Amino acid sequence: MAVIDEIIIVSNGKLSFGDYESEEKRKVSDFELDGNLYNVKTHKLLTRLEKNNGLLLETVPGSTVHNLEVFDDMIEFSIEGYEDSQITMELEGGTDYKIYVNNLQVGLTTSSKSGKVSFSLELGSELKKVRIVKFQT
């Protein structure tokens, strides 16, 4: 899959954003979807998506995220980039999450009190499908 033409788009109700090939910093502010405002900043070294002025997803270095969907108990997206990336998301604080990549569970983590969850992925031009599920004990 290729980098998207715009730095943030909606298709079938799903967000796609970012451009890991961009040498220059690019951003879009106040992109509205379903009553929420999104801000995206992207370039080769960083991609960051904020929802209503709070962090939703950040990758270092930059990436392109496809078909992001956020539910009460799960988040799904596909991602590509040019090298290994550190992904940080802000979710519900003090909560356990299972992380799946290409339908294989690769981790179980607990978010910080502020809700931060971080993990690393080996990225390349092949899309990786990520699913983060709230773990109910």
Tens-place pLDDT, residues 90-128: 999 999 999 999 999 999 999 999 999 999 999 987 899
Each residue of 21-43: pLDDT tens digit? 999 999 999 999 999 999 999 99
Please give the pLDDT value at position 2.
Answer: 58
State how far the Cα of 57 lies from the Cα of 95, in Å rounded to an integer: 17
pLDDT at 70 over 90: yes
Q: Look up the pTM and report it.
A: 0.93
CA–CA gap between residue 18 and residue 5 (Å, rounded): 9
pLDDT of residue 31: 97
Mean pLDDT of the chain: 94
User: In the chain, what percentage of residues exceed pLDDT 90?
Assistant: 90
Domain 8-134 is of which CATH architecture?
Sandwich (2.60)
Domain ranges of the chain: 8-134
What mean pLDDT do residues 70-77 have? Answer: 96
